[in-house]
Amino acid sequence: MQKEPKNRIIAALDIGTTKVCALVGRRDAHGRLEILGLGKVESAGVMRGVVTNIEKTVQAIREACEIAKEQAGVTFDTVHVGIAGQHIKSLQHRGMMMRDNTTSEIGARDIDKLIADMHKLVLPPGDKILHVIPQEYTVDNEQGIVDPIGMSGTKLEANFHIITGQITASNNIHRCVERAGLKMANVTLEPIASAASVLYEDEKQAGVALVDIGGGTTDITIFQDGIIRHTAVIPFGGHVITKDIKAGCTVMDQHAEKLKVKYGSALASEVFENRVIVIPGLRGREPKEISEKNLSLIIQARVEEIIEHVSWEIRRSGFENKLIGGIVLTGGGSLLRDIEKLMEVQTGHSTRLGTPIEHLSHGYNAKLTSPIYATGVGLLLQAFADIDAGRILPAEAKKKEEVEAEAKAKAAAEAAAKARQEAEAQRVAAEEEGWLGNIFKKTKEWFEAEPDADF
């Protein structure tokens, strides 16, 4: 393995519906990810994964990055950002190219040219290509080739899974990051990032569906033979469950969220009949009693609807009977009690909870075991993978001491320049004063001289 430079520190930014999360990390001597800093703040300017308020989002990005910088003891100005939202779509396309030199081997340049041709596809107005993912290749009618590099052939073909998104959504994220005083290294689809952090390689080979339940959206990514085969976004997530609790129990937003997190269950059959939750009344009113069974019935109804959409997407992908690895749940919504049991009952696929600890070095923060950090950790992993592949250049992060030393040196240089300017101004003023003084003296002498007697 190539030795990692000491200053190879990378920052990632997960801009979600419920939170904005900044992570700073590097790879240790064994190639595992070491998280140096973690900043998480509440997100107020994002709805269903799309930025709806620039100023609030910029403020949240600044706060999250400041917390991460403080913890890590380094500063950075480049971040690797995730993108999600209901505007994300996917399509399948087949590409083909004829090679001039049939004796030479197929190389990375041929693959890059084939992928570059996919970026020329005509898309609906306002859409742009985010990712082009090769599925399998065909060389001179020889099908099912995973890696054609090194083979000889005249005709090179490939099936591609192409992920697109709205230009405006991407531009708004870019604008927010720039206004926060940062630069964007690249943009990664958040479900791909989450998959990098919570899925095992053997699961990807066997066939697995990753279901990332966020606040505003539920993202689905299906892998087979180690390749992404299908991606989809369902335009609702944990927030609709909170809204249903608010309406069904006639409580305020903050009480509905707390009820969901602390007492909520996705399986009403697992909850005791006679348990009652008491929440404080509004402005001196009587406390309100809510049945835990009724709360779980409200939650289960909405979660079942989300699972129905997930099942439909899995059927639409054509991989329903090929998911040997079953379903992996991640994201904040996966923390809902008994949700994996309900997923198993509804879909018939074995289900587990995905946490982003597989690639972390020893001694990681206990916070990082939560599925809500799956995307952030995955963005760091994807960034290192892109740098290794030469797709992006690494940004150099600087230690606080270096930044402070640079700032002091700059301030000293500015002070010295200012002192020189002031000295020069004083010298010029003195010269002007001497010259003007002489003129004034001569003029005074001329006026005060005795008049000539001859006149």
Q: Is the dihedral of CA 239, 243, 249, 251 positive or negative?
A: positive
Please spell the DSSP secondary structure of 229-284, one letter per residue. EEEEEES--HHHHHHHHHHHHT--HHHHHHHHHHH-BS-GGGS-TT-EEEEPPSTT
Please list the ranges in the chain whose pLDDT falls under 70.
1-7, 391-412, 427-455
Angle CA 27–356–342, to nearest 5: 170
Cα separation, 204 vs 209, in Å, equals 9
Cα separation, 449 vs 455, in Å, equals 14
Cα separation, 230 vs 215, in Å, equals 22
Which of 122, 151, 117 lies closest to 134 in space, CA to CA? 117
pLDDT given for residue 2 in this prediction: 45
pLDDT given for residue 186 in this prediction: 86
* Exposed e or buried b per residue across 199-210, where buried means at least 16 C-beta atoms within 10 angstroms of its C-beta: beeebbebbbbb
pLDDT given for residue 449 in this prediction: 60
Tally of helices (H runs) and strands (E runs) in the chain: 11, 20
Of all helices (H) and strands (E), which one includes residue 65? helix 54-72
Task: Give residue-wise pLDDT tens across range 38-75.
Answer: 999 988 888 877 888 889 999 999 999 999 999 888 88
pTM of the model: 0.80
Cα separation, 159 vs 197, in Å, equals 26
Strands 227-234, 218-224: pairing kind: antiparallel
How do the domains of the chain map onto residue ranges?
A: 89-164, 206-354
Residue with tokens 């430079």: 5
Cα separation, 51 vs 57, in Å, equals 7
437 burial class (0-12, 13-18, 19+ CB within 10 angstroms)?
exposed
For residue 230, the cross-strand partners are 222
pLDDT given for residue 314 in this prediction: 93
CATH 3.40.50.720 corresponds to the domain 89-164: no
Domain 206-354 adopts which CATH fold? Nucleotidyltransferase; domain 5 (3.30.420)
Cα separation, 76 vs 118, in Å, equals 34
